[in-house]
């Protein structure tokens, strides 16, 4: 079971993601924006990061870029969970260092399945 950092400005969305992950036995830490996400990542050690794109203070792409700059998170998988499906934004996410892209709304089965793939 993995320890996962979930970053999303929407409380409901965080709750849904956390519920899905904790039900599958994972440990979850929440953050409401990119800045909080970076601070949480520095304080703890996570096996996976799931982030939204459109967030206040620091968006998801910037968060991924900031985390990739940290030595501990160079090779940690990072999934982007967002309503954005435009190829140009996906490309930006990929360039920033995102491991995968999931378009909201997500199905819990699909999320867990994707998690399994990237954690393997």
C-beta closer to other proteins: residue 51 or 99? 99
Compute how many residues bind other proteins; rule: CB under 8 A.
31
Among 13, 31, 50, 76, binds other proteins (CB under 8 A): 13
Burial of 112 (0-12, 13-18, 19+ CB in 10 A): middle
Give DSSP secondary structure letters for 33-48: SHHHHHHHHHHS--SE
How far is Cα 59 from Cα 9, in angstroms, rounded to an integer?
10
105 contacts other proteins (rule: CB under 8 A): yes
C-beta closer to other proteins: residue 66 or 111? 111
Give the nearest distance from C-beta 12 to other proteins in angstroms.
Answer: 4
What torsion, rounded to 10 degrees, do the Cα atoms 21, 114, 90, 81 define? -10
C-beta closer to other proteins: residue 67 or 98? 98
Q: How many of the other CB atoms lie within 10 Å of CB of 43?
A: 8
C-beta closer to other proteins: residue 17 or 38? 17
Residues at the site binding other proteins, with contacts judged by CB under 8 A:
10-13, 15-16, 19-20, 23, 54, 83, 85, 90, 93-94, 98-110, 114, 117-118
């Amino acid at each position: 079971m993995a320890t996962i950092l979930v970053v999303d400005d929407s409380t409901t969305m965080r709750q849904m993601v956390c519920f899905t992950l904790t039900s599958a036995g994972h440990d979850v830490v929440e953050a409401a924006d990119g800045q909080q996400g970076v601070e949480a990542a520095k304080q703890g050690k996570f096996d996976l990061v799931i982030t939204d794109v459109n967030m206040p203070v620091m968006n998801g792409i910037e968060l991924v870029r900031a985390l990739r700059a940290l030595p501990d998170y160079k090779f940690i998988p990072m999934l982007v969970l967002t309503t954005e499906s435009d190829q140009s934004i996906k490309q930006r996410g990929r360039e920033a260092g995102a491991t995968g892209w999931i378009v909201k709304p997500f199905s819990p089965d699909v999320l867990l399945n994707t998690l399994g793939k990237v954690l393997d």
